[in-house]
Amino acid sequence: MRDLTDTPLTFVTAPLVTGLLPPQHSPEMKAVLQLSDELAAELLETDHLVISTPVYNYNVPAALKAWGDHVVRKGLTLGVDGKGLVTGKKATVLLASGGVYTDDSPIKDRDIATHYLKLILNVLGITDITFIAAGGAKTVDLGELSTQDFLETFDHQIQKSLV
C-alpha cells in the first residue's frame, strides 16, 4: 500500500522526460527514474488497485496526477503501440467530493476526476474499474451528517467492490 500524501512525488521535468526516452539509461537517468520505476513495478505487481481520493476543484489532487505521470511508461506499462500492458487487473476508485456528480445531477458535467482516472487506467490496460462516488461530503463540513454516518452511506458499495 502506498499513501501518496506520504510520498514526495516529483512532477514531470525535463530530466525525467529525457530519462524516459532511451532504452539505455545513464547513472544520472537511473537516479531520476528510480521512483517512477518503483511506482510502475508496484502497479504491475498488484492484482487489485485501490485509489481513494478527494476531489479538488472537480479533479484529482496534484499528487495523484503526478503518480499517473510516473506510471504511464512506454515499454513498461504501455506498449510501443500505445496499448496498455497492465492487463488482467481490477481497480476500485473511491472519490470523495463536496458536490454530487451522479447521472441525474445538474452539475454532472463538472466531474473531471472520474473521466481522468478512467482514461489513465484504460490507457494502462485496466478496464475492470469500479467507481464509488462518495459525493456530498460537504454535508459533514456543514454539520448535517457525522463522518461515520456519511461513510456508512457508501459502506455497502465499498465492501462489494473489494470482493
Q: What is residue 157's three-state secondary structure?
A: helix
Return the exposure string of 140-151: e unless at least 16 CB atoms fall within 10 Å of the residue's CB, then b.
beeeebeeeebe
Phi/psi of residue 130, nearest 5 degrees: -110, 120
Q: What's the confidence (pLDDT) of residue 99?
A: 85
Q: Considering the entire predicted model, what is its pTM? A: 0.86
Q: What's the confidence (pLDDT) of residue 89?
A: 97
Q: What's the confidence (pLDDT) of residue 88?
A: 97
Q: What's the confidence (pLDDT) of residue 15?
A: 81
Q: Where are the domains positioned within the chain?
A: 4-161
User: Cα(135)–Cα(25) distance, rounded to whole angstroms?
Assistant: 44
Please give the CATH architecture assigned to the domain spanning 4-161.
3-Layer(aba) Sandwich (3.40)
Q: What is the grid cell recorded at 118?
A: 478512467
Q: What's the confidence (pLDDT) of residue 22?
A: 65
Residue numbers of the chain with a pLDDT score lower than 70 = 22
Q: What's the confidence (pLDDT) of residue 160?
A: 81
